[in-house]
Amino acid sequence: MSKYEIPKVKLFEFDMRFQIFPEFVYYDFAKPTTIIRTTRLNFTASWKLTSIAACEKGSYDRILCDPPFLSTDCQTKVAITVRWLSKISSNGTQEQGPRIIVCTGERMEELVYKLYHGIKTTEFRPKHAKDRLSNDFRCYANFESELWKSQQQEAANGNVADPPK
- The predicted-structure confidence for 115-158, as pLDDT tens digits, reads as follows 998 999 999 888 777 777 677 889 999 998 888 876 655 545 55
The confidence score (pLDDT) of residue 74 equals 95
The confidence score (pLDDT) of residue 48 equals 53
Quick one: pLDDT band at residue 43, thresholds 50, 70, 90?
very low
* Max avg pLDDT among 15-19, 103-107, 130-134, 161-165: 103-107
Quick one: pLDDT band at residue 14, thresholds 50, 70, 90?
confident
Tell how far CA 126 is from the center of its chain.
Answer: 14
**What global pTM score does this model have?**
0.75
Quick one: pLDDT band at residue 93, thresholds 50, 70, 90?
low
Mean pLDDT of the chain: 78
d(C-alpha 105, C-alpha 22), whole Å: 29
Cα pseudo-dihedral 60, 61, 64, 70, rounded to 10: 70
